[in-house]
């Protein structure tokens, strides 16, 4: 069936038999074409006096939409702070929940079966099964490590003639149809430079190639329709990729861009500007829905406004900071100044005392080591700090930077400050190991016990060797330092407490991945003239101990769903490197 034949027959299906002039208005086809084709439809038995016949419906059947897949697994980190509290698809926009509005539009168009693929805060969506008929829920357990290519891989048993939608799209008018002729990607034409995906058309209006960023052109915006041929072709690629994981971190649009020439044609369907909306930030949402200017329904926003004594409307220009190993943070502006909000990571309450952290922050600020601290809630763990312009982190390859770091650490330790709690990395690692073995899935590392034995020998030799406990930061890796031309600031005091000074020295060495000679130079600079063999052993041993602690900690964080990536491996390497060196050299 040609596109024009489909368009006319589908118009008859929706509107019944009409005059040629009326049908012209409904289909945008010429009256001459309509008159001739209507005769042919009647001859084929597709139409009768009252409209489309059973035979006509059978002719349309290959184009009938089977269902819709709504992707709602991701966190939408660009939408901080709102996305830290609820999934973006559950935002109320102009008095309607985004995903509910989309489900209603789909079902109003005749698409009754809808698959929801969930991940982040998935339980918040479960009510939709009861509210709407025809809802099927799938869970993407790897939503935080893989992109929406994996979401579609999981949904493939349900994908045929299917709409592929995002839960956070807002359609001013219902864009969905019960029958669709060809695969298409919704688009909006822009004439300004953007960082969106641009679809370059061929002579037939299908996608010839896809480019990231551009100036004038048709950008991807909104929903997509896959017919069975397109679904089969792209799912074949996703299945072939499943073992290698090349596209794990990619959007499915990257698969389209890479394989567009070999995939069945996909039309660029341009919608008028102001028809489809995607909100990539709270600032964008505020421009669309004025209700969010002064009241965002966000506890985070209320917290910020209360601490900084401002209105919610004064808080703007949010920018997510890449998620840290423990927490998620974002930068924002209020009353002409910039700040950082720290949101505690899931599972951290089991290994971090926020009450202790707050006292550590207050102490660090009082001695000038961390002047950025403004406020922290010791019950929930969120924190507000001032933003420092023009900072950089120390360069592990620069001994000048090492001297700056050591100057702060030496000053901190020489003050002989004390608090009423301690950080004991060896003992803490044993506690975390117990949690892993009893409450999580265990430890898969077959050489774990051998590593623990070697590190334990180092710990026992340097334990009680005369180096006194001090108030220490205990997490001194480079990202927790902020260097400016005239300041060396140490931030993030979550693990601070009374500790062996080796915790501060060893952590920095651990993250640097230095070989032993570089570490010995660093230790000698810290200890100064007269460094003893016992001191050298002590701080090398604590490099092994701290590396082991962070390795066990990383195993726990991954068991809680965090992604530790290369850090977990590096800490394993450093624990083994330094413990083996000391065990061999000192015949432990």
The answer to whether 212 and 194 are in contact (CB under 8 A) is no
| H or E segment to which residue 460 belongs | helix 448-462
Backbone angles phi, psi at 189, to 5 degrees: -85, 130
User: Tokens 């230095």 sit at which residue?
Assistant: 514
Does this chain's domain 67-278 share its CATH topology with 298-387?
Answer: no
pLDDT for 421 equals 94
Assign 581 to helix, strand or coil: helix
CATH 1.10.760, domain 3-63, yes or no = no
Tokens representing residue 371 in the block: 């002047």
The answer to whether 29 and 7 are in contact (CB under 8 A) is yes
CATH class of 67-278: alpha beta
Q: Which residue ranges make up each domain of the chain?
A: 3-63, 67-278, 298-387, 393-585
Query: Beta partners for 225?
Result: 163, 184
Pairing between strand 481-483 and 67-72? unpaired
Tokens representing residue 346 in the block: 């899931």
pLDDT for 350 equals 64
HSE-up of residue 298 (Cα within 13 Å, Cβ side): 29
Assign 316 to helix, strand or coil: strand
pLDDT for 15 equals 92
Tokens representing residue 123 in the block: 């339980």
HSE-up of residue 199 (Cα within 13 Å, Cβ side): 26
pLDDT for 318 equals 86
- Residues 8 and 14: their CA atoms lie apart, in Å, by 10
pLDDT for 395 equals 97
How would DSSP label each residue in 139-202? Answer: E-TTTTTS-HHHHHHHHGGG-SSEEEEETTEEESS----SB-SS-EEEEEEE-S-EEEEEEEE-
Between the CA of residue 246 and those of 31, 143, 249, what are the distances in Å?
52, 16, 8
Long-range (24+ apart) CB contacts under 8 A made by 82-86 are: 82/282, 82/285, 82/296, 82/298, 82/300, 84/300, 84/328, 84/343, 85/298, 85/299, 85/300, 86/121, 86/124
Between the CA of residue 309 and those of 305, 317, 319, what are the distances in Å?
5, 18, 21
Quote the CATH superfamily of domain 393-585: Aminoglycoside phosphotransferase (APH), C-terminal lobe (3.90.1200.10)
Q: Where are the alpha helices (DSSP H) in 415-447?
A: 425-438
Backbone angles phi, psi at 129, to 5 degrees: -60, -35
How would DSSP label each residue in 237-249? Answer: HHHHHHTT-TTTT
Q: Tell me which DSSP letter residue 269 carries.
A: E
The answer to whether 135 and 128 are in contact (CB under 8 A) is yes
The answer to whether 376 and 354 are in contact (CB under 8 A) is yes
- Residues 170 and 418: their CA atoms lie apart, in Å, by 55
Alpha-carbon radius of gyration of the chain: 30
Between the CA of residue 152 and those of 57, 105, 147, 226, 242, what are the distances in Å?
30, 22, 9, 12, 11
Nearest to 433 by CA among 418, 416, 455, 415: 455
- Residues 367 and 486: their CA atoms lie apart, in Å, by 17
Between the CA of residue 164 and those of 66, 156, 229, 343, 552, what are the distances in Å?
11, 11, 15, 32, 40
- Residues 337 and 324: their CA atoms lie apart, in Å, by 23
User: In CATH, what is the architecture of 298-387?
Assistant: 2-Layer Sandwich (3.30)
pTM above 0.85, yes or no: no
How would DSSP label each residue in 275-287? Answer: SEEE--SHHHHHH
pLDDT for 84 equals 82
Burial class of residue 508 in the structure, from the number of CB atoms within 10 Å of its CB (0-12 exposed, 13-18 middle, 19+ buried): buried
Instruction: Tell me the pLDDT of the chain (588 aa) as tens digits.
Output: 999 999 999 999 999 999 899 999 999 999 999 999 999 999 999 999 889 999 999 999 999 999 999 999 998 877 888 888 889 999 989 999 999 999 999 999 999 999 999 999 999 999 999 999 999 999 999 888 889 999 999 999 999 999 999 999 999 999 999 999 999 999 999 999 999 999 999 999 999 999 998 889 999 999 999 999 999 999 999 999 988 899 998 999 999 999 999 999 999 999 999 999 998 888 888 888 877 766 667 888 889 999 999 998 899 888 887 545 456 788 999 989 999 999 876 655 666 788 999 999 999 999 999 999 999 999 888 999 999 999 999 999 999 999 999 999 999 999 999 999 999 999 999 999 999 998 887 898 999 999 999 999 999 999 989 999 999 999 999 999 999 999 999 999 998 999 999 999 999 999 999 999 999 999 999 999 989 999 999 999 999 999 999 999 999 988 887 888 899 999 999 999 999 999 999 999
- Residues 354 and 347: their CA atoms lie apart, in Å, by 13
């Amino acid at each position: 069936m040609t596109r024009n034949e489909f368009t006319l027959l589908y118009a008859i299906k929706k509107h019944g038999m009409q005059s040629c002039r009326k049908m012209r208005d409904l289909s945008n086809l010429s009256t001459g074409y309509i008159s001739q084709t209507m005769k042919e439809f009647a001859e084929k038995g597709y139409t009768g006096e009252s409209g489309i016949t059973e035979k006509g419906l059978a002719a349309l059947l290959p184009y009938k939409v089977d269902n819709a897949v709504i992707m709602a697994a991701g966190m939408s980190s660009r939408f901080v702070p709102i996305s830290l509290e609820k999934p973006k698809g559950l935002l109320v926009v102009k008095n309607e929940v985004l995903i509910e509005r989309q489900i209603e539009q789909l079902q109003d168009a005749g698409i009754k079966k809808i698959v929801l693929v969930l991940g982040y805060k998935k339980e918040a969506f479960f009510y939709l099964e009861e509210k709407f008929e025809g809802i099927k829920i799938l869970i993407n357990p790897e939503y935080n490590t893989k992109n929406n290519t994996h979401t579609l891989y999981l949904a493939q048993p349900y994908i045929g003639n299917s709409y592929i939608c995002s839960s956070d799209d807002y359609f001013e008018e219902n864009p969905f149809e019960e029958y669709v002729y060809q695969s298409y990607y919704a688009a909006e034409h822009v004439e300004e430079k953007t960082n969106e995906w641009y679809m370059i058309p061929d002579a037939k209006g299908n996608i010839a190639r896809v480019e990231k960023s551009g100036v004038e052109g048709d950008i991807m915006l909104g929903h997509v329709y896959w017919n069975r041929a397109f679904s089969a072709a792209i799912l074949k690629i996703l299945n072939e990729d499943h073992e290698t994981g090349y596209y794990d971190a990619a959007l499915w649009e990257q698969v389209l861009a890479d394989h567009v020439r070999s995939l069945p044609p996909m039309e660029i369907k341009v919608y008028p500007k102001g028809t489809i909306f995607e909100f990539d930030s709270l600032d964008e949402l505020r421009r669309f829905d004025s209700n969010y200017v002064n009241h965002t329904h966000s506890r985070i926003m209320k917290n910020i406004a209360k601490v900084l004594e401002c209105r919610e409307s004064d808080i703007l220009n949010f920018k997510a900071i890449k998620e840290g190993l423990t927490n998620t943070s974002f930068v924002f502006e209020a009353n002409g100044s910039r700040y950082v909000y720290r949101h505690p990571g899931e599972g951290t309450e089991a290994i971090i005392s926020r009450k202790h952290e707050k006292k550590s922050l207050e102490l660090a600020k009082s001695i000038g080591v961390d002047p950025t601290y403004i406020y922290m809630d010791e019950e929930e763990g969120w924190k507000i700090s001032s933003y420092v312009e023009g900072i950089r982190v120390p360069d592990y390859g620069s001994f000048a930077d090492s001297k700056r770091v050591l100057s702060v650490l030496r000053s901190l330790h020489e003050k002989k400050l004390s608090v009423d709690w301690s950080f004991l990395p060896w003992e803490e690692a044993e506690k975390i190991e117990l949690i892993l073995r009893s409450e999580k899935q265990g430890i898969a590392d077959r050489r774990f016990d051998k590593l623990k034995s070697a590190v334990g020998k180092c710990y026992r030799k340097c334990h009680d060797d005369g180096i006194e406990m001090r108030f220490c930061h205990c997490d001194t890796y480079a990202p927790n330092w902020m260097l400016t031309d005239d300041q060396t600031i140490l931030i993030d005091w979550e693990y601070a407490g009374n500790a062996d000074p080796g915790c501060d020295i060893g952590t920095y060495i651990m993250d640097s991945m230095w070989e032993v000679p570089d570490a010995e130079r660093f230790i000698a600079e810290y200890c100064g003239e007269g460094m003893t063999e016992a001191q050298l052993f002590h701080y090398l041993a604590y490099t092994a101990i701290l590396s082991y602690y962070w390795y066990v900690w990383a195993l726990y964080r991954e068991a809680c769903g965090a992604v530790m990536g290369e850090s977990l491996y590096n800490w394993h390497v450093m624990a083994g490197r330094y413990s083996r060196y000391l065990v061999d050299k000192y015949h432990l």
